[in-house]
Each structure stands twice: as structure tokens, then as C-alpha cells.
Structure 1
Amino acid sequence: MTQTTSPALPRSAIWAFGLVAMPLSTIGLPLAIYLAPFYAGEMGLSLAALGTAMLIARFADICIDPFVGAFSDRLRSRFGRRKPFLVVGSVVLLLGMSQLFNPGKGVTLVYFLGWLAVMYAGFSLIQVPHRAWGAELSPFYDERTRISSVRQFFSTGGLIVSTLVPAVVLGQAGAKSSDVLFALTVMTVIALPIVAGINLYFTPEPAPTPRPPRARFDWKANWRALRRNGPLQCILLVVFIGFSAETFRQTLTVFFARDVIGVKNLGLVYVYYFISAFCGVPCWRWVAKRTSKHHALAAGMVIAICTNLGLYLLGKGDTALFTAMFILKGFCFGALDLLPAAMLADAADVDTAITHKSRNGLLFAVFGVVTNLGQAVGQGASLNALSWVGYHAAGETAPAALASLSLLYAVIPSAALGLAMLIALRYSLTAKRHERLRVLLQGRKALAGT
């Protein structure tokens, strides 16, 4: 898979761009893994109520994403289109995190829901324009995989940090989950402004096309453009099913590891998991370059399915086998996280060819909506399913409920990932087809004199 022209984007610009993913992922893991057990076990809120609150907050976030994307597409300022959102989003995110991760006594469900919604809004303000910015850094098929790989490299590094912090903090006498969340808050409050500043300084924003005339949003025209874009439909469907399945499983990990397997230090297991994921990122980039992005993504899903089903066969005391399978699953994490964004950047070029407009912000907002919807379904469904089968996070659980937990954790997500894998294999935008598309768009741009 080669490119006809070498990209001129400096390496420093790509690495500065990807650096922002590190503090974001440092927050993201405790948000997905530790927050529900903390609020259920230490704050006394019910799992069903937490699951419903997470679902509501996600749906509120879904309503924000399209407006953020469309506004960032239209914005013309001396600072660029995407950069102002990184600044504003960082402030909102840090405010929400400081309140959500460090609640006072007598916390209520309304408190949890409100600050979770603020935190999600901060994520949207950063991630939607930032991903669109990444797609605009290069028009080349393989170079976009490189950009996504660097971003995933730092994202996985942040995940390693977010697993090391609990391991270190909880190793201190008398430490609690609240101490872990406080340490993560302090670290992120320091790190996020620094890396955002590095990104703003070193990474250029491509010159925008002339601002389109203000017009009413045409839902029918946009829906027709979406229906004509087969690769975009394919990757969005894969992302929705895949994120639903993985979030469903991730939300149950603490409960499964603690009560079914008997893992004593899950934080240490997660360190191994993300080190494996860290090592896997360049491997998946290599596989995607030698084959194609969608075939590499499908291969990652096959590994994830096999490890999930293997975990279902484990029981009390199988900590070593659990850790080994978790490490293997970590290796395929990079494929499931980095490749969809790179594939969407290519599918966005199909949209440009159809509509004659650059709408990366809007399309990555749709990507964010689908991602958030998948995560909302996964979080809400998993916690409510746990409550339905009679599982209790803070007390004794019957053997039948533990058996149901194993089924929910391993088998249900595997079935969903199998469906996503079959859909991914139908993705049609190969490197050769994308190169023809890139040449077409370059020709149009030259004729337009822009």
C-alpha cells in the first residue's frame, strides 16, 4: 500500500497532536471501569439507578455532538476552527471531573447525573473537533493510519498511567477508591493544560475552505448523502455494535474479576493489559498497511471474541489464566480503537465527493454520537442486567447470579462483536479506491483555485 506523494507533515506536529489523547484516556478508564463500583459500593447508590443515570447523561451528550461538529466546521477565527474548542473543552472537562471524582458526603443521584453530563460535554467539546482536525492533517490513506496510531499510542500510554495510579495509591495503608480518584484528578488538572498548549503550538490547522453561506440545516439532503456513502454507513454500524459490546463488558470487569475469578489486584492486571495494547499499536498499523484497515479491524475482533469465550470457561482461583487472556485481549485493543477513526477519515472523503463540501466536523460529530450511543447502551444495559439477575455489588451474591454474570461478561459481548466483524468485512474503501478518490478531490480543488 503506497502513496503517490510523500506527505510533508512534520513528525513533531503529529506527535503534538496525539499527545492530547493521553490525559483524556487517563480520565476515560476510571469513568468506564471504576466509577460505578465507587458510587455503588462507597456512596450507596443503586446499580440500576447509576445505569439509568449514565444512559441519560450519554443521551444528553449525543444531543451536543452534532452542534459542536457543525459549529466547528463553520467557525472562522484568528485561532482557527478546531483549536478554540480544545481550550474551552479542557476547562469544562476539568470542572466536571473535579466534582464527579471527588464527591462530598450524602451525594445524590442528581449530583452524579449533573456532573457526569458536564464531564461528557467537556469530552465532546475536545474530541469532536480534535478528531476532525486529525482527518484534515493529511489526505493520504496510510498517513491517516499513522496519525491515528500516534494518537492511540498516547491514548494507551494514558491508560497505563490510569492503571498504575490505582496500583500505587491502593498500596498505601488505609487507601480507598476515593483516594485513587483524587490522585487522578490532580494529575489531570496539571497534565491536560500542558499537553493542550503543546498541541496548539506545534500542530498547524490546515487553511479552511471559504465559509459556506448560512443556510437552514437540510435533514433530507444530509440523509440522502449518508445513504449514498456506503463506507460511512458500514463503519458507523461497526462502531455502534463494537462500542456497545466492549462497554457492556468493560462495565462488568470489576465485578467479574473480583467475584467470579477472585482477582486481588485488578489494577495490576490492567497495567499488563495496557502495556500489551501499547505494544500492539505499531503491529496493527503494520497489519493495516500490509493488508487493509478493515481486514486488520476484523482480525482484532476475532482475537477479542476468542479471548472473551475463553474467559467464560474460567472460575474461582484462575487468576493466572485470567491475566494471560486479559493480556492477549489487550493486544487487540489498539485495532478496535485506532482503526475506525482512520477509516472514518477516508469515508469522509466520499462525503466530500458527494456533497462538494468539507464536513469533517459534522461527520466526526456523527461518529461521536454513534460512539456515545453505543457506550450508553453498553453501560445502561449491563448495570440494569446485573440488577435484573440479582447481583449485589456491596454484599453476598448467589451462585446463580454469578453464573449469569459470567454469561453477561463473556458470551453476550462476543456475539455482538461477531456481528460487527462480519459487517467490517463489507467495508469497500480500499487503499487503491481511496487513492483514486484523493486524486479526484485534488483535481476539483485545483479547478476551484483553492
Structure 2
Amino acid sequence: MTKSTSSMPAWRLLSYGTINLPLSFVGYPLVIFIAPFYAGELGLPLSWLGIMLFLGRMSDVITDPIIGIGSDHTRSRFGRRKPWIAAGIVMMTLGVYKLFMPEPPVGLGYFLLWVSVVYVGFTMVTLPHEAWGGELSASYHERTKITGSRQFFGLIGLVAATAVPAYVMSQPGGTSGAVLEALGWVVIIALPITGAWLMWAVPSVPANDVSPGVSLRSGLRTMWRNGPFVRMLMVLLLGVIGETFRQTITLFYARDVIGVSNLGSIYLLYFGVGLAGIPAWIWLGNTIGKHRALGVSFTTLAVLSLAMLPLGHGDGVMFTALFAAKGFCFGSLQMLPSAMIADVVDVDAARSGKSRQGLYYAAAGVALKLGMALGQGLSLNMLDLVDFNAKGANSADAISSLAMMYCIPCATLFIIAVPLVWRYPLTAARHQKIRGRLDARRDATAAIVNASP
């Protein structure tokens, strides 16, 4: 399965990505609806919610390496990754039930506990799943298709997840709490079903196809000497902070700056356009390289963000058009970096002779979670500094500050990321040479083993 020339059957490629559909019902509301619900409906302080979200994400700094290395070292008849994914599904279903459907009154401790459980369960599913995907093929271009499968089903899930709020919020008395309850039940039902299908349909990489893992200290030392990976982490961190900062306050911006009452229907368009854009990003990545395709995406997002700065109350049509254009770039922000990380693992394997997919995806996961924590924490606390009221009825100064926060910080971070990713050194040609060395080493090892008495 890991030979450079191998090709996954289309049905198995699609089966691999299915679990991302219900996972989207978790990631989307955690960014969009959690803060409005717990602050606006349950009355928890907005600034403290930002701190709790940050602390919950920071737990991933500890858990991600544990899960990544643990899955690298796991040996079972079900493979390295599947036991972790199964355990994560159980943890997530419990956490989602408690976090999305709390029984008031609840406090900050309750929120921190269950958001942390959801985060850890989410990592136990997604990190081994991504590492598993990196092992399914060694081809530079097929890895883009594998991550594209994840993103394809993730965006289908996001389209479905936005249809639920669009319907709920259109009903009399529709609230963020009602939206979270509906989304939560979808996760509780669909996640175990898609997880079971994944386990059955997609084979684990056989133990004789991978080299044993190594210690955390040795792995980290080698990882930080991997120039392309360190650059990729910097780019990932900048992009995630910018995108999460913007997404966290989108509901407030749409409501108080533009005057949009039902953001769910606009998000439905946003993710629908993102779904339609996946083939274009796969094509562009294969044509000019994944790193430069990502640079094009960052540049486009920066321009679109700054174009929103002059908008005001009543500019719903222009906001919707620019927002949908941003949606076209959404898929690239997760699909392309994930495929690039799978490639940089080969650089490490060529140097060390070890297979450390889990460790590398864990490090990328830490950067991702750190970026999300900073994006959420900074945006909510900056709003609190300008006396923004999550329940509405804000002053003109607070609304003006909100508009600038929505447009300028994310655009700035995207612009900084562009030159870093544009000069990314691991091209398709260089990766092909590295894979040639790895395949030759594997063939030589197999020949020695077969020749042994």
C-alpha cells in the first residue's frame, strides 16, 4: 500500500474520509455557536469563556504528543491507529452530550471540563486518522487526494451542519442552544456509524511495512532539524490564528455590523462553495505545487478580508458575496497543509529510517490547537476590552472596533504567511527523489530478509 506507485481504489479512498462528516458537526459549533450560547444564553463572562477555551486547547499540548507517539507504538491485531480512533469516538460522544446539551445552571468549571473532554476525544480520532492517511500512500499527488477525501466529507458535513442552524434559527424562538442540541444528536448517532465503516473498509498498514517508532526526545530532536517541517509549522500557526480569530467573531460581525439575522443560511452557501472548490485546489496543487497553491489561497483570503472593511449595516448582499468567495478557499487551508505534512515525514524517514507519522501529526496538531486557542482567546478578550456586549445593544465605537478586528488581524497574518510558504523547499521533484531512496532501502531490506535461511 505504501509503494510510490500504488493507487487506492476510489471506494476505499472515499471510505477513508467518511468519518470527517460527523466530526464537522463538532468543529463548526465549537467556533461559531459555543461562545454566543454560553455567554449570551447561560450568562457566563465572555472574557472568561475565551480563557477557558484557551486552557482547553492548551491541554492538547500535552495530549497530542502522547496520542501521536502512543499510536506510533501501538501493536494490535487491529493495527496501530484503529484502537485510538475507537476510544476517541466513545469519549467524544459523551463530551458532546454534556457540552452541547448542558442542564443549567452551569459554571466555568463545567465548561472547561467538558470542552477539554471533547478536545481530547477529537484528537484521539483525528490525529491517528491523519497519520493513518499518510501511511496509505507514498505518492506526492495521491496524498493530496487522500487529504482531499477527508476534506470532501468534512465540507459535506459542514454544509449539513450549517443547514441545521439555518433551519433552527428560522423558527420562532430559535436559539444557539437549540442549534447545539440538534447538532449534538447528529454527532452522537453518526460518529459511531461512520467510525465502524472506516474500521471495516480501510485496512491498517501492515506492521512489516513500517519501522518501529523511537523515543520522544529522539523524535523531537530530529523533527526540529527538519527544515521543511519547521517552516510548515510556522505557516500553519499563522493561518490557523488568522482564520480562527475571524470565524470566532463572525456571528457578532454579521449581526451587529452587517445586520444579518440568520447567518446559518450564509454559512450553508460558504461551505457549499468550499465543497465545490476542492477539485480546483487539488488540480492547482498538482499543477504548481501544494505550497504555492496554499500561497494563492492565503493571498486571496487577505484581499477578501480587507475588502470587507468598508462594509456596514445593510450591506448583506456584498457581505454574502465576499463571504462565499472566502468559502472557496476554506478547503485548501486544511487539505493542503495536511498533505504537505505527510511529505515532510518522508524527509525524516530518509534520514532516520524510522516511521513517525503519529509524532509529526501530533506536532502539527499542537500548532493547530495552539493557533485555534490563540485565535479564540485573543478575539473574545479583545472584544471584551472594547466593552462589546455578546447579547447585543452595542455602542457605535464597539461596533466599529468589531469591524476592524474582523478584517485587519486575519489579513495581516495571511500576508505574513505568503512568503514563508511560497519559498517552501519540498517540491514534487525533490519529494520524488526522497521516495526513490526510501523505496530502494525498503526493497534492499526485503531482499536481505527473503535471502535469510
The interval holding the TM-score normalised by the smaller chain is over 0.9
Cα deviation for residue 224 of structure 1 reads 3.6
SS at match of 2:170: coil
- List alignment gaps of at least 5 residues for structure 1: none
Cα deviation for residue 45 of structure 1 reads 0.6
Cα deviation for residue 258 of structure 1 reads 0.4
1:290 maps to which residue?
Answer: 287
Residue 300 of structure 2 aligns to which amino acid in structure 1?
I
2:96 maps to which residue?
Answer: 97
Residue 192 (structure 1) aligned with residue 154 (structure 2): no
Preserved CA contact (<8 Å) 1:232 1:347? yes
Cα deviation for residue 213 of structure 1 reads 7.5
Between the aligned partners of 2:263 and 2:37, the Cα distance in structure 1 is: 14
2:115 maps to which residue?
Answer: 116
Between the aligned partners of 2:99 and 2:93, the Cα distance in structure 1 is: 10
Between the aligned partners of 1:153 and 1:216, the Cα distance in structure 2 is: 35
Cα deviation for residue 227 of structure 1 reads 3.4
2:416 maps to which residue?
Answer: 419
1:387-406 counterparts in 2 under 5 A? 387-406=384-403
What is the CA deviation profile of residues 269-301 of structure 1, one whole-angstrom value per residue up to 9, with x for unaligned ones? 000100100000001001111110011000011
Residue 445 of structure 1 aligns to which amino acid in structure 2?
R
1:249-398 counterparts in 2 under 5 A? 249-398=246-395
Q: CA RMSD in A?
A: 1.6
Percentage of pairs with the same residue: 43
Cα deviation for residue 216 of structure 1 reads 5.2
1:174 maps to which residue?
Answer: 173
Residue 161 of structure 2 aligns to which amino acid in structure 1?
S
Residue 442 (structure 1) aligned with residue 439 (structure 2): yes
Preserved CA contact (<8 Å) 1:305 1:417? yes
Cα deviation for residue 7 of structure 1 reads 2.3
Between the aligned partners of 1:204 and 1:299, the Cα distance in structure 2 is: 35
What is the CA deviation profile of residues 364-402 of structure 1, one whole-angstrom value per residue up to 9, with x for unaligned ones? 011111100010111111100100112111242111111
Cα deviation for residue 171 of structure 1 reads 2.5
Cα 1:115/1:366, change in 2 over 3 Å? same
Paired residues in the alignment total 445
Residue 355 of structure 2 aligns to which amino acid in structure 1?
S
SS at match of 2:166: helix
Preserved CA contact (<8 Å) 1:74 1:211? no
Preserved CA contact (<8 Å) 1:245 1:414? yes
1:164-243 counterparts in 2 under 5 A? 164-209=163-208, 217-218=216-217, 221-243=218-240
2:73 maps to which residue?
Answer: 74
Residue 400 of structure 1 aligns to which amino acid in structure 2?
D
Preserved CA contact (<8 Å) 1:152 1:338? yes
Residue 149 (structure 1) aligned with residue 154 (structure 2): no
Between the aligned partners of 1:41 and 1:369, the Cα distance in structure 2 is: 30
Preserved CA contact (<8 Å) 1:100 1:116? yes
Preserved CA contact (<8 Å) 2:212 2:355? no
Cα deviation for residue 214 of structure 1 reads 8.8
* TM-score (norm. length: structure 1): 0.96
What is the CA deviation profile of residues 7-61 of structure 1, one whole-angstrom value per residue up to 9, with x for unaligned ones? 2322121111101111101211011111001111000011100000001000012
Cα 1:240/1:194, change in 2 over 3 Å? same
What is the CA deviation profile of residues 124-170 of structure 1, one whole-angstrom value per residue up to 9, with x for unaligned ones? 10011110000000000000001111111100011001100011122
User: Please, which of 238, 241, 244 is the counterpart of residue 244 of structure 1?
Assistant: 241
SS at match of 2:247: helix
Q: Which runs of 4+ in 1 moved over 4 A?
A: 209-216
Preserved CA contact (<8 Å) 1:141 1:434? yes
Residue 182 of structure 1 aligns to which amino acid in structure 2?
E
What is the CA deviation profile of residues 174-222 of structure 1, one whole-angstrom value per residue up to 9, with x for unaligned ones? 332222111111111111111111111111111124897797542xx43
Between the aligned partners of 2:161 and 2:114, the Cα distance in structure 1 is: 20
Cα deviation for residue 62 of structure 1 reads 2.0
Cα deviation for residue 359 of structure 1 reads 0.3
Residue 123 of structure 1 aligns to which amino acid in structure 2?
F
Preserved CA contact (<8 Å) 2:96 2:188? no
Residue 140 (structure 1) aligned with residue 139 (structure 2): yes
SS at match of 2:174: coil
Preserved CA contact (<8 Å) 1:166 1:267? yes
* TM-score (norm. length: structure 2): 0.95
